[in-house]
A and B are shown apart, each in its own frame.
Chain A
Amino acid sequence: MAARGLIEARNRYGKRALAGFGSAKGTNEEAYLFQKLVRTGFGSNNVDHCTRLCHASSVAALMEGLNSGAVSNQVRDVANAEVLFVIGANPTMNHPVAATWMKNAAKRGAKLIVADPKRSDLARHATYYLQFNADTDVALLNSLLHVIVEEGLVDQVFVRDRTSGYEALVENVRKFSPEAMAPVCGIDAQTIREVARLYATSKGSMIFWGMGISQHVHGTDNARCLIALALSTGQIGKPGTGLHPLRGQNNVQGASDSGLIPMFYPDYQRVNVPEARQRFEALWGMALDPDPGLTVVEIMNAAKRGDIRAMYNMGENPAMSDPDIDHAREALAALDHLVVQEIFLTETACFADVVLAATAWPEKIGTVTNTDRMVQLGRKAIEPPGDAKEDFWLLTEMGRRLGLNWTYSHPRDVFAEMRTCMDSIAGITWERLERESSVTYPCVKEGDPGAPVVFVDRFPTATGRGKFVPADLIPAAERPDTEYPTVLITGRQLEHWHTGAMTRRAAALDALEPEPVASLHPLDLEEIGVAPGDILTISSRRGSISLYARADDGMPRRSAFVPFCYYEAAANLLTNPVLDPYGKIPEFKYCAVKVTAGGPTPKRLSFGGGTLLLD
């Protein structure tokens, strides 16, 4: 039934009328099978996953500059660093254990620079906390680069031997003096100069960033500036330095590595490069679509237009996670056939024609890859409930029904195939994972220890050089105005994961954060006449939600922060579905809203509300 609808759509409307969303919560083996299913069973490259919503722009910039989308150094390398520069990330909330290593480093004496419009708990440990104006990342970062160039802090030898395009960068940052940028980004020129000197001259400076950098229409430009900081000062390629985009999902690194991306086969081999396509055509034994497929938001738009007619969605929740979810929900409803593979009847599953009951993480075996490039083995602890099936089984059965002669009997068979087409993990054996639980890639030959620090001698580009790509100021797509005077920043909170499907059904977490909240500066709350705990309403040009007010003096003035995990007050009803032109990532971190006192009490439906402990 699930497969039949997909086959019918393929036969009637053609291969490109089908699309699949894989999952960054599944295993590497599932991700690999899923993209192979779409590329060989559906017959197009219309496969993507939530990396599009988190670090797509970072990866676009990293691939462009360094031809590698993964981190250069691991989090615990902070032990060797003198300076940590954390921008657009809230690791105490979103990567709590990684944050503990950063805090340990700060206590040891490393200098911590935290830059974020919203002051996080980590700022308490910072030597410099830069509360720059939201949306002015490029202004701040280019002014740091300006100081580095102007004050002669450039590592000339590194720039000469390891990089290209430096002259264009020098030319570009000339107009971004700290004095000129201070009124734009809201950080005084002297502080910008001090931070630039500190970063450039230390023995080891590491950069960490999160969605605050990536989820903008200029997300790729933001990341380009960070890469330029590391390249111009030679703060990369040795312990205690480097670039670390903090990956969100437990397996977003692995799902991306495994090819759940419309423009890349596994291991970031481009679908529009004939040699790469031929390699996979030979391995998979059939002709493949030579053109890149559509990305997450593009697929939703195509579904709304009727160009995409059927979809297979494994573990994603676009009806909650996409920007402007009213639009996303209409798109899902417009599909002729939607298959959803899930553990709960999520907001997305409600639009399905067929729902396949799947397994949760502790109910299956497989590998996942963390932000540090560590491939780690998860083992099965419990049996799934009722007739819920392992995702591996569901995927292979779907493959067979779509006419693929798949003979995998265990995820280890899939991993073995992955090793043959993914050079970075070619040396990792299943037996070693069973023995050691964790192996860092690149691990090219069996027995290799794995490389915690990469780019030591060269970058994996054609010339071996890292490329500077200058960035200019591009404003957010929707700026505040008199009608919508407040900036909405969306994000997460410590206790809840993304769209809340798991954590709002976890009793202790539900009890800790039961209700939807919006954080505003206490003075802003006072201005609109709302006390903490009262209900307020936030409206944008796309929608409106009512939720409880929380005072947070770490918030910048005239802005509101809403976590996107609450179905009863879904932040993404408000967000703006404009995309970064390179990474195709939506601008979740900035749109214009108005905040008013009062509104209907958020509904308390089937779960959440702090009641689970009473069950």
Chain B
Amino acid sequence: MVTFTLNGKTVVANSDQTILQVAQAQGIDVPRLCYMEGMRADGNCRTCMVEIKHERVLAASCCRYPKEGMEITTNSPRALVSQKMSIELLLSDVPETTYTRNSELDLWAKRMGVGKPRFRSRPQPLGDASHPAIDVHLDACIQCKRCVRACREEQVNDVIGYAFRGGHAKIVFDLDDPMGESTCVGCGECVQACPTGALAPARGVATITPEKSVDSVCPYCGVGCQLTYHVKDNRIVYVQGKDGPSNSSRLCVKGRYGFDYVQHRHRLTKPLIRKPGVPKF
């Protein structure tokens, strides 16, 4: 246990909790984009910067642990300017059209009062719709690498990588292949991890507002992954992994993208009786 001050308030916390986690537990909002609960913190987006007294530079709160007696401010003018500037720079990279209702970048921009960015956009890459279940829109990519960690560290499929240098750096599948031609197994963990819709379920379904969300279990294999059905007009629109004991929100291609058999036109809708005399074989 360590005792330190957070925004002037004395706090006692476990020493294995990061500053960001302690702040969250205290109800203090610190923006974050490359951080995702349950994943290794990477500290690359620089939107969670906080000020620590007597330290020359700001610290990324997602991968910094509090020490005894530390004085940490998440909302000092210097910290706020840095947080907002990072968000504005990332905003300038992405298009105004959105690929998901749940863009975390838009959410934090709104919460932090960051408007239209003042900076010029980067040259935007083309979309990739080569995969039947997943659309790739790297124009919306902020290179937080949550997809890389989802693919390599969680699901350990080792398909997504981060290639090239400097301004050319980007997310790639295998050796920069189209996603549909790569060794991707379609688990969609990267889609679930993506904060901006740069990786999104195909055919724009992430922009549909579901009427209801129902928690259930995957109907395929014996692992018993828990999931959530998002439903509109009596149709399942998309499926997300739920934090169940056997899956911790992970799913595979069948569980995440294999749900539309229920609305296939072959469904039996009334009982059938064999006509007299019709042979069986």
| Interface residues, chain A, with chain B CB atoms under 8 Å away | 1-2, 25, 74-76, 92, 94-98, 100, 103-104, 107, 125, 246-250, 252-253, 329-330, 332-333, 342-345, 350-358, 360-363, 368-372, 374, 376-383, 385-388, 437-438, 440, 494-495, 497, 501-503, 505-509, 511-512, 606-607, 612-613, 615
Contacts and interface: CB of A to CB of B under 8 A. Distances in A.
Given A381-B231, A506-B260, A494 B253 contact: yes
7 contacts: A97-B225, A250-B218, A362-B214, A503-B261, A507-B132, A509-B253, A512-B133
A104 B250 CA distance: 13
Interface in B241-279: 244-247, 250-255, 257-274
Given A362-B229, A380-B214, 4 more contacts: A248-B222, A354-B271, A440-B245, A506-B261
B154 interface: yes
B266 A381 contact: no
A81 B225 CA distance: 22
A355 B261 contact: no
B280 interface: yes
B214 A379 contact: yes
Interface of B: 132-133, 153-156, 185-187, 202, 212, 214-226, 229, 231, 234-236, 244-247, 250-255, 257-274, 280-281
Contact of B223 (A98, A125, A342, A378): A98
A437 B215 contact: yes
B223 A370 contact: yes
A252 B222 contact: yes
Contacts of B258: 495, 497, 502-503, 506, 508-509
A381 B224 contact: no
Nearest to A388: B269
Nearest to B262: A360
Contacts of B281: 329-330, 333, 351
B161 to A, nearest CB: 16
A596 B163 CA distance: 44
In order of increasing CB-CB distance, the 10 nearest A-B pairs are A370-B224, A386-B269, A96-B252, A247-B222, A103-B156, A511-B132, A357-B268, A361-B219, A371-B222, A381-B214
Nearest to B247: A97
A512 to B, nearest CB: 6
Contacts of B216: 361-362, 377-379, 381
Contact of B220 (A344, A377, A497): A497
Given A353-B273, A379-B214, A505 B223 contact: no
Nearest to B256: A508
A96 B246 CA distance: 12
Nearest to A96: B252
Contacts of A360: 219, 261-262, 267
Most chain B beta-carbon contacts within 10 A, residue among A95, A350, A501, A507: A507
A607 B281 CA distance: 21
Contacts of A352: 272, 274
Contacts of B222: 95, 246-250, 252-253, 370-371
A250 B217 contact: yes
Given A246-B222, A357-B269, A508-B132, A97 B202 contact: no
Contacts of B235: 382
Contacts of A372: 223-224, 245-246
Contacts of A74: 246
Count chain B CB atoms within 10 A of each CB in A252, A369, A381 and give the residue with the most.
Answer: A381
B217 A382 contact: no
Contacts of A355: 268, 271-273
A501 to B, nearest CB: 8
A368 B221 CA distance: 11
Given A379-B214, A494-B185, A345 B253 contact: no
B152 to A, nearest CB: 9
